[in-house]
């Protein structure tokens, strides 16, 4: 549950998540946790404008997770691994994958950001350099191999 909450929080921090992701996480949380935390239960029914900051505060307090830390960079590596898997499985096109990698890179390289740079992001960003809408898993040649390399490396090292 911890990693799932961290991934949702990180996706919001990166600007990649939608409002339904908190609800989906909450549904899983109350199904899997014998005694859900009261703060989590209070998230149900809140309008999204209140739910998001409350969820982020809950993840910080309950799971001690902040996206702007070394643990945040570790979780970003997991997220990048999941994105690689999605591209390999065809759930995400290569151009969409590369656009997402570029957006993630922009967040970590924003002036004033103190977030540690995820270790796998640089190679994925370089591998996506010059990507356009014609790219696929097999063109250019390196794409499938690059995605496979990091899809395998996307597991959470501290979970």
| Residue 59 CB neighbours (<10 A) | 22
What are the CA-CA distances from residue 45 to residues 23, 37, 53 (Å)?
9, 16, 14
Q: Where are the domains of the chain?
A: 2-63, 70-152
| Residue 9 CB neighbours (<10 A) | 26
Specify the pTM: 0.90
Tell me what pLDDT residue 26 has.
95
At 10-40, the pLDDT tens digits run 999 999 998 899 999 999 999 999 999 999 9
Beta carbons of 138 and 144 less than 8 angstroms apart: yes
Structure tokens at 158: 């501290």
Beta carbons of 50 and 126 less than 8 angstroms apart: no
At 104-155, the pLDDT tens digits run 999 999 988 889 999 999 999 999 999 999 999 999 999 999 999 999 655 5
């Amino acid at each position: 549950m911890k990693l799932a909450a961290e991934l949702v929080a990180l996706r919001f921090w990166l600007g990649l998540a939608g409002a339904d992701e908190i609800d989906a996480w909450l549904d899983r949380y109350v199904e899997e946790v014998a005694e859900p935390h009261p703060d989590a239960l209070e998230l149900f029914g809140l309008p999204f404008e209140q739910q998001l900051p409350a969820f982020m505060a809950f993840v910080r307090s309950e799971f001690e997770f902040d996206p702007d830390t070394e643990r945040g960079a570790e979780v970003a590596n997991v997220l990048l691994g999941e994105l690689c898997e999605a591209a390999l499985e065809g759930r995400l096109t290569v151009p969409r994958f590369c656009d997402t990698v570029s957006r993630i890179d922009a967040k970590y390289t924003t002036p004033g950001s103190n977030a540690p740079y995820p270790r796998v992001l640089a190679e994925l960003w370089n591998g996506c350099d010059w990507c356009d809408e014609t790219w696929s898993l097999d063109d250019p040649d390196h794409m499938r191999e690059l995605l496979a390399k990091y899809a395998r490396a996307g597991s959470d090292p501290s979970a």
